Amino acid sequence: MHPPVLSMPLFVMVALTVAVAKDLPQCQETDYYFEYTECDSTGSRWRVAIPQRLGSCTGLPDPVSGTDCTFSCGAGEFLEMSAQQCTQCAAGTYSLGSGIRFDEWDDIPPGFTSLATYMDSGPAGEDALTCSNSTWVPQGNYLESNRDECTVSLIYAVHLKKQGAVSFVYQYVDNNIFFEFFIQNDQCQEMDQTSDQKWIKLTNNGEWGTHTVDLKSGTNILYWRTTGILLGTKIVKPVLLKNVQIEGVAYTSECFPCKPGTFSRTPGSSSCDLCPRNTFSGKGASSCTHCDKDKQYAAEGSAECKEKPACSKKDYFQIHTPCDSEAKTQIMYKWIEPKICLENVTGAETLPPSGRREPCPPCNPGFYNNDTATCTPCPAGTYSDGVKACQKCPAGTEPALGYEYKWWNVLPANMKTSCFNVGNTKCDGMNGWEVAGDHIRSGAGSSDNDYLILNLRVPGFKLPTSVSRTTGSEFGRITFIFETICSADCELYFMMDVNRKSTNVVESWEGSKGKQSYTHIMTKNATVSYTWAFQRTNQAEDVRQYVNDIVKIYSITVTNAQDGASSSCRACALLSQRASCVPCPAGHYIQRDTNQCMECPPDTYLSGHQIYGKESCLPCGPGSRSNKDHSVCFSDCSFSHSDQNRTLTYDFSRLSAVGSIMNGPSFTSKGTKYYHLFNISLCGHEGQRAAVCTDNVTDLSNKDLQGDSNELANYVETFVCQSTIIPSDGRGFRMALSSQSISLADTFLGATVESSLSGISVRPDLFPETSKKVPDVNFFYRSPQATSSCEKGRNAVITLRCNPAKPARGELGVSSKCPAGTCDGCTFNFLWESASACPRCTEADYHDIEGACKGGVQDTLYVWNEPKLCTEGASLPGKKTLPCETIDFWLKVGAGIGAFVAVLLVSLTCYFWKKNKKLEYKYSRLVMTANKECELPGADSCAILEGEDQEEDVAYAQKPSLLGKLKSIATKGNGESCESVQLKSSKPERWVWG
Tell me how far apart the alpha carbons of residues 502 and 496 are, in angstroms, rounded to a whole number. 8
Closest listed residue to residue 424, CA positions, set 284, 272, 242: 242
CB < 8 Å & 24+ apart, contacts of 310-314: 310/341, 310/342, 310/345, 310/346, 310/347, 310/348, 310/349, 311/335, 311/341, 311/342, 311/343, 311/348, 311/349, 311/350, 312/341, 312/348, 312/349, 313/349, 314/444, 314/544, 314/547, 314/548
SS (H, E, C) 753-776: CCCEECCEECCCCCCCCCCCCCCC
Residue 286, pLDDT above cutoff 90: yes
Is residue 857 scored above 70 in pLDDT? yes
Per-residue CA distances from 19 to 51, 151, 679 (Å): 12, 48, 75
pLDDT digits (tens, 9 = 90+) for 712-730: 445 788 899 988 887 776 5
**pTM beyond 0.85, yes or no:** no
List residues bridging with 32 in a β-sheet.
51
pLDDT score, position 652: 92
- Between 957 and 470, the higher pLDDT residue: 470
Indicate the SS3 state at residue 207: coil
Q: Are strands 794-802 and 827-834 parallel, antiparallel or unpaired?
A: parallel
Q: pLDDT category, 262, cuts 50, 70, 90?
A: very high
- The answer to whether 247 and 99 are in contact (CB under 8 A) is yes
β-pairing, 846-850 with 857-864? antiparallel
Task: Tell me the DSSP string of 703-742.
Answer: GGGTTSGGG-TT-EEESEEEEEEE-TTSTT-SS-EEEEEE
Of the listed ranges 811-815, 819-823, 828-832, 979-983, the one predicted with least confidence: 979-983
Amino acid 267 reads: P
Helix axes 949-957, 888-928, angle to 10 degrees: 80
- Peptide bond before 665: cis, by omega within 30 degrees of 0? yes
pLDDT of residue 950: 45
Q: What is the mean pLDDT of residues 108-135?
A: 67
> To the nearest 10°, the Cα dihedral for 434, 170, 531, 334?
0
Strands, E, within 409-512: which ranges?
415-420, 433-435, 440-442, 451-458, 476-485, 491-498, 502-510
Q: Which residue has the higher pLDDT, 15 or 773?
A: 773
Is the predicted pLDDT of residue 303 greater than 80, yes or no? yes
Which residues pair with residue 307 across a beta bridge? Answer: 296
Q: Are 698 and 175 in contact (CB under 8 A)?
A: yes
Q: pLDDT value at position 335?
A: 85
Smallest CA-to-CA distance from 623 within 600, 599, 642, 639 is with: 639
* Selected residue with higher pLDDT from 530 and 594: 530
* 117 or 108, greater pLDDT: 108
Residue-by-residue DSSP string for 229-267: --SSSPPPPPPEEEEEEEE--S--SSPEEPPTTEE--SS
> What residues form DSSP beta bridges with 556?
405, 480
Of 439, 441, 410, 421, nearest in space to 532 by CA: 441
- 758: Cβ–Cβ under 8 A, 6 or more apart, which residues? 621, 749, 750, 780, 782
Q: Which of 726, 799, 813 is nearest to 769 (CA)?
A: 799
Higher per-residue confidence, 211 vs 714? 211
* Category of 293 on φ-ψ map: left (φ > 0), alpha (ψ -120 to 50) or beta: alpha
Backbone torsions φ then ψ of 415, nearest 5 degrees: -120, 150
pLDDT band at 1; cut points 50, 70, 90 = very low
pLDDT tens-digit series, residues 18-45: 444 456 788 887 888 888 887 777 778 8
**Read out DSSP for 695-706?**
-HHHHHT-GGGT
Going by C-beta distance under 8 Å and a sequence separation of 6 or more, which residues neighbour residue 192? Answer: none
Q: Is the pLDDT of residue 234 over 70?
A: no
- Give pairs for 19-22: CB < 8 Å, separation 24+: 19/55, 19/58, 20/58, 21/55, 21/58
State how far the Cα of 287 lies from the Cα of 756, in Å rounded to an integer. Answer: 75
- The pLDDT assigned to 743 comes to 86
DSSP state of 902: H
Could you tell me what percent of the chain has a pLDDT over 70?
81
Region 666-673 average pLDDT: 73
- Alpha-carbon span 122 to 106, nearest angstrom: 36
DSSP 120: P
Range with the poorest average pLDDT among 165-179, 350-364, 671-685, 942-956: 942-956
Examine the pLDDT at 13 and tell me if it is beyond 80. no
Please give the pLDDT value at position 713. Answer: 47
How distant, in Å, are the alpha carbons of 201, 247, 280 from that of 329? 46, 57, 41
Confirm if 764 and 755 have CB atoms less than 8 A apart.
yes
Q: Which helix (H) or strand (E) holds 972?
A: helix 962-972
442-482 pLDDT, tens digit per residue, is: 987 778 888 899 999 999 888 776 666 655 577 889 999 99
From CA 601, how far away is CA 605, in angstroms rounded?
8
Phi (first) and psi of residue 928, to 5 degrees: -70, -30
What is the DSSP track for 625-641? EE-TTSS-EE--SEEEE
The mean predicted confidence, pLDDT, of the chain is 79
* Cβ-contact 492, 552 below 8 angstroms: no
What are the tens digits of pLDDT across the range 775-807? 889 999 998 877 777 888 899 999 999 988 888
pLDDT tens column, 892-905:
778 888 888 888 88
